[in-house]
Chain A
Amino acid sequence: MSRYLLRRLVGLIPVLALVLVIVFCLTRFIPGDPAVTLLGPGATAEQIAALRRQMHLDQPQGVQFLSYVWNLLHGDLGVSLKTGRPVLDELASKLPATIELALAALLIALAIGIPAGVAAARRRGGVLDQVLRVAALACVSVPAFLIAFALQGLFGSWLRFLPVAGRLSPYFIFKPITGFAVLDALLHGDVAALSDAIRHLLLPATVLGLFIAANLSRFVRSAMIQQLDEDYVRTARAKGLDERQVVYGHALPNALIPVLSVIAILFGDMLGGAILTETIFSWPGVGRYTLDAIRNRDYPVVQSATLIFAAMFMLVSLAIDVIGQRLDPRLKAPVA
């Protein structure tokens, strides 16, 4: 397993290098200039040229690329053109917010998607199956921002039950410990802050999680139908096992193994969705940070954030592959 892990980890390097080259080229192909964006409409050509020199944007692009790669190899992700702060520090301060949101969304997706998939499989062709199918279709096809505005209007404006933006109410001012608001509140036993953090998390996590839940429920349904038709399930029923035990004790664990790899792919979708969700809900994570950086042509931030997203996706995929192999030894690659 350790050799397999090492091989997979080494395999990540060329992929990340390719991502780096593509993103570097793409950022330079986008029309526009960071100095122009930063100085605004009133700036003269002379002011812009001075800022370009200051930010080393007047150097040849090959030199800029080599300089970025050299710094990257030394653990330096560069400095944000907009803020002048190290990108590593800024990403480190925003990553917990994105991970917190992604984990909450994943929890919601699993909590909705798996039971819905199982229920639909057990009542194949029935009314519940049809209702769940339509609901899943709606969650996948309705744009996330519409769902977000609807939930904000319902829970935020009409019922006034949940906050519609941010991670904490503005008058909760604190110094972070881990950067995970919910975890920090727990660590300090601050019930008011914990409640506030969870209430802020609910809407964005639901919006992000619903799309995953909808997809997940369809995959679970298919996998469960396949398992429920297997001989071992028929045998279990023939032996007189309780139906719940048959479904949840035997069929579901087997059905979830192929679903695991789907979760890895959906996680990639979730990272993409985080950009939109974080923007709508003013969630101070890496997604919103990246979008702002793209708008501002903040090249070092766009390059580094994309690398981080790519690395996260690949590491999650790797972790899920490893877990899948643990659960089902048949998935192990044949030893040469």
Chain B
Amino acid sequence: MAGLALPWAQMGIDRSRTLVVAVPTDPGSLDPAHNTAELVGSEIILNLFDTLVAWAAPHFDRLEGRLAQSWTVSDDARSFRFKLRPGIFFHDGEPVDAQAVKVSLERAGRLNPYMRASFEPIAAIETRQPDIVTLRLSRPVPFFLSLLAQPQAAVVSPTAVARLGDRFADAPVGSGAFRFVRKERDVCVVLEANPRYFRGPPRLEHVIYSVNANPSTRRFQLENGDIDVSQQAGQLGALPMQDMDAFRRNPTIQVIEAPSQILRQLEFNNSRASSPTHDLRVRKALSYAVDYDGLVHGLLADSVDRAYGPLPTANWAFDPAIARAAFRYEPERARALLRQAGFEPGALKLDIYTFLGAFWGTVATFLQANFAAVGVKANIRQVEFPSLRGLHLAGQFDVALDGRTPWYNDPDAHITIGYLSSLASTAMTFRMPPDAALDRLILDAQDQTDAALRKELYGRVQQQLMARVPAVYLFTNRVIVFARAEVRGLRIGPAPPLTEYWSVYKRAQQADA
């Protein structure tokens, strides 16, 4: 067995400077070039590696330089020139230079299924000077900097990649605030502080990701102090209201909430002409039938925020006019619209497809009751994700309770993949029917380089989508982190919802920090 000759010894870890973070699943690949944007692996990558730019805490509404000291973007958004910070080294002692950036981005574009399409416009990466990188694109991509802020675009040590080959994910080498120590599958990932980190050494000595799939067990562990943080990924697929109530009454635990861009909606199969929801009046009726306040404030106990339209309110392109024009709970109007569409009470029957799990089941049951109140009989069909995706791609559904987690911070991540009709059956989209005018507007908004004009275009996209009612927009999950009271400095990004632990410390450390 591996490690037979090695002694078993405690590493002398100081608990007061160690943060134990409970995560619900084993991380996916810790190699940025193989990471598929799942939350646990992405967050570890964010702590092990650096990107050229990153969203700046605490508001995450502007980009700041990380490996890049400064950058310029050409007017046509086709050329990005980065000046790298001097004196930054990878954990293996090799310098971070322009060549390392080139190798990393080319590698991600070649190997990462998520980055392949995103980096396809990169025509050339120029590295004429060791501290200058210029990316030239074949077409304008206004949100390209957002892509470069993603964990999948992190800069890796080319020396380590060459040395380790396929095993790079087992011993990842970056330049981030923490260094990789070890990983035991389904048990833990251990990181230690990088004392040479360019922003200054982290205040924690170790971060230990402890894998625990069971929410009840994580709660016991947090109450006992066995773990310090129950990471956000653990709360996204569950209903944490009971935990929130209990933790809010517990002075040893803090509940940290942050807005996210995760959308939950009841989406219609907008391409299925035979569906009863093909009739706009039916889609509107179902939208009026939902008791949004009851859902957000009652059922989900304010652990979520109302979603009004295709963009969450935390997105910079969200148009406030959409919130004013959004559907409200008006069951009488819903009944009238159904009658107009030819559906007397009890005549309309629908299957609501959704994922497995209590969270989805509870929300679906609430919607089922809302629809029953206006005379619509809904059956709930909970299926595993691969099955739901199969049904979705084949268009074999009328309505599906579904969700979207954008993997980069831009309206494009919601709109293009969701609503462009040419992509209707390529992924879990809203399956929009052919609509040349809407498609053109979406692509114009995607390519527009002027930020103000781009926001205006996305405003028009939102208004047009609202008129088409492609879904009943329900709520956006708040990112919820449970932490011991002594944990300080947690800052959680909204899209994707990840945490950097560089700034985190425990209160006992405050005096000597």
Mark A residues whose CB is within 8 Å of B: 31-33, 36-47, 50-51, 82-84, 90, 92-94, 149, 152-153, 156-157, 160, 163-167, 169-179, 184-185, 188, 190, 192-193, 279-282, 284, 288-289, 292, 295, 297
Are A178 and B404 in touch, CB under 8 angstroms?
no
Are A170 and B8 in touch, CB under 8 angstroms?
no
The 9 closest A-B pairs by CB, nearest first: A32-B386, A175-B3, A174-B8, A175-B6, A282-B212, A31-B387, A47-B113, A164-B220, A284-B186
Which residues of A are found within 8 Å of B184, using beta-carbon distances? 284
Give 20 new A-B contacts, CB below 8 A, not counting A39-B113, A179-B1.
Answer: A32-B385, A33-B390, A38-B36, A43-B113, A45-B393, A152-B216, A153-B220, A160-B224, A164-B217, A166-B210, A170-B226, A170-B227, A171-B208, A175-B3, A178-B1, A280-B214, A282-B217, A284-B185, A284-B187, A288-B213
Which residues of A are found within 8 Å of B221, using beta-carbon distances? 163-165
What does the 1/0 interface line of B52-94 toward A look like (CB < 8 Å)? 0000000000000000000000000000000000000000000
Are A40 and B8 in touch, CB under 8 angstroms?
no
Interface centre among A44, A82, A93, A193 (most CB of B within 10 A): A44
B211 within 8 A of A: yes
Question: What is the distance, in angstroms, from B215's C-beta to the closest C-beta of chain A?
Answer: 11
Question: What is the distance, in angstroms, from A100's C-beta to the closest C-beta of chain B?
Answer: 14
A46 CA / B20 CA spacing, docked (Å): 38
Which residues of A are found within 8 Å of B6, using beta-carbon distances? 175
B161 within 8 A of A: no
Question: What is the distance, in angstroms, from B303's C-beta to the closest C-beta of chain A?
Answer: 21
A185 CA / B9 CA spacing, docked (Å): 10
What does the 1/0 interface line of B379-408 toward A look like (CB < 8 Å)? 000011111011001000000000111010
Which residue from A32, A50, A165, A184 sits with its C-beta under 8 Å from B217?
Answer: A165
Question: What is the distance, in angstroms, from B189's C-beta to the closest C-beta of chain A?
Answer: 10
Which residues of A are found within 8 Å of B3, using beta-carbon distances? 175-177
A171 CA / B213 CA spacing, docked (Å): 19
Which residues of B are found within 8 Å of A152, using beta-carbon distances? 216-217, 220
Which residue from B185, B188, B386, B428 sits with its C-beta under 8 Å from A297?
Answer: B386
B190 within 8 A of A: yes
B322 within 8 A of A: no
Are A165 and B212 in touch, CB under 8 angstroms?
yes
Which residue from A46, A184, A185 sits with its C-beta under 8 Å from B426?
Answer: A46
Q: Looking at the complex, which of B10-18, B309-317, B331-339, B434-442 is the stretch in contact with chain A?
A: B10-18
A72 CA / B37 CA spacing, docked (Å): 33
B512 within 8 A of A: no
A44 CA / B423 CA spacing, docked (Å): 9
Using known A-B contacts A166-B212, A170-B20, A175-B3, determine if residue A84 contacts B428 with beta carbons closer than 8 Å. Answer: no
Which residues of A are found within 8 Å of B251, using beta-carbon distances? none
Are B113 and A37 in touch, CB under 8 angstroms?
no
Question: What is the distance, in angstroms, from B502's C-beta to the closest C-beta of chain A?
Answer: 20
A137 CA / B227 CA spacing, docked (Å): 36
B164 within 8 A of A: no
Which residue from A90, A165, A185 sits with its C-beta under 8 Å from B185?
Answer: A90
16 residue pairs of the A-B complex, CB under 8 angstroms, read A31-B384, A31-B387, A39-B36, A43-B36, A44-B423, A51-B113, A94-B186, A157-B223, A160-B224, A170-B208, A172-B10, A175-B6, A177-B4, A280-B217, A284-B186, A297-B386
Which residue from B2, B190, B383, B427 sits with its C-beta under 8 Å from A43?
Answer: B427
What does the 1/0 interface line of B186-225 toward A look like (CB < 8 Å)? 1110100000000000000010101111101110110110
Which residues of A are found within 8 Å of B210, using beta-carbon distances? 166, 170, 282
Are B182 and A173 in touch, CB under 8 angstroms?
yes
Which residue from A41, A171, A173, A281 sits with its C-beta under 8 Å from B15?
Answer: A171
Interface centre among B8, B188, B216, B383 (most CB of A within 10 A): B8
Are B113 and A50 in touch, CB under 8 angstroms?
yes
Which residues of A are found within 8 Å of B320, using beta-carbon distances? none
Using known A-B contacts A47-B116, A164-B224, determine if residue A33 contacts B217 with beta carbons closer than 8 Å. Answer: no
